[in-house]
Structure 1
Amino acid sequence: MAYPDGLLGSDEYVVVHKHPHWKMLILPVLVLFVVVGGGFYLAALAASTSWQLPLWIGLGVIGAVLIAWWTLAPLVRWRTTHFVVTTHRLMVREGVFTRTGIDIPMSRINSVRFRHGLLDRILGCGTLVVESASDEPLEFDDIPQVERVHTLLYREVNDDPRDDWDYRAREDG
């Protein structure tokens, strides 16, 4: 089931649906490993003290807060961020408790470009830059397969139904 089926028009369908690239999760996973490893190390040190139970409880609470703040929150943020290209518009939805979104009709998009450095090229992601009727171009970072998304979005922007074979067949027949 493609996101966001409930928001699509009757003749609209999803062309591309992406979450940000997984590279956004590298730092949160590293934090998880450091907090868990450091917590076990400190718990082992606390085992030889007479205050071991209160220290273990304190380490557990601090570790849980750090993991929730630096690992779980970015994971949920990543999972609830959607970059969607449909046949009629470009949609971006972000957020968990406070949702934000932007819709750009295909007819308002003037140009589409992308950029990615060496690391982004190795990982297969990049930044998509969309110029529309607004003053400033919109930049969407960490788009997976940015070149493919760029090409598909460009095709949708420049798609003329009169160029479609089915349309010509209907007109001729």
Structure 2
Amino acid sequence: MAYPDELLVEGERVVMHKHPHWKMLVVPVLVLLLVVAIGSYLAALAGSQTWGHWAWLALAVVALGLVIRFTVVPVVRWRTTHFVVTTRRVLVREGVFTRRGIDIPLKRINSVQFRHTIFERIVGSGTLIIESASDEPLEFDDVPGVEKVHMLLYDELSDISPA
């Protein structure tokens, strides 16, 4: 999915657009499978009882609540989090109802670093650290292909002519 062009300024184009790494979705998927498995088992046990219909209804309500809270919400959060590099800035946007964002003009970036653990190297993610004119470096966790993003940002920074 491309980043919306109407959010870009004139002459700006998207160089890279990513969502957080898929590893953020592992626990929500496991929760979904666990809820379905346990719910199905309990529904089968309660099915032969005279009060089985009420038990099925209660199980459905509990299962739906668990799936919404521990699967749907994290998936929507993942899907609505954007890490975008354009020809002029780095943008991070997240949220559905309450949106948060940060824009870092490329001209204000002093250095770009990355780090990743052995596990993150295996799955292909890491933390991107951007030092700009602000006091504290900004850290972006779970960036997929963090080394490639680092190289891309470095390349974009080298294309900026000094003002």
TM-score norm. by structure 2 comes to 0.96
RMSD value over aligned CA atoms? 1.2
Report which of the two structures shows the higher radius of gyration computed on alpha carbons: 1
SS at match of 1:130: strand
> 2:47 and 2:91 mapped to 1: Cα distance?
53
Corresponding residue pairs, total:
162
1:118-150 CA deviation, whole Å, 9 max, x = no partner?
111111111100011111111101111110000
Aligned equivalents of 2:97, 2:26: Cα separation in 1: 23
Instruction: Report the counterpart of residue 15 of structure 2 in structure 1.
Output: 15
TM-score by length of 1: 0.90
The reply on whether 1:156 has 2:131 as its aligned counterpart is no
Give the 5 Å matches for 1:137-156.
137-156=137-156
- What amino acid does structure 1 have at the position aligned with 2:62? I
Other-structure match for 1:125: 125
User: Could you tell me whether the CA contact under 8 Å between 2:107 and 2:160 is conserved in 1?
Assistant: no
- Tell me if 1:99 matches 2:99: yes
What is the deviation of 1:68?
0.6
CA distance in 2, matches of 1:40, 1:2: 39
Question: 1:7, 1:31 → 2: CA distance?
Answer: 35
Matched position secondary structure for 2:103: strand
Deviation at 1:161, TM superposition (A): 4.5
User: Structure 1: how far apart are the matches of 2:62 and 2:2?
Assistant: 39
Partners of 1:137 and 1:4 in 2: how far apart? 27
Could you list the structure 1 runs, at least 4 aligned residues long, displaced by more than 6 angstroms after superposition. none
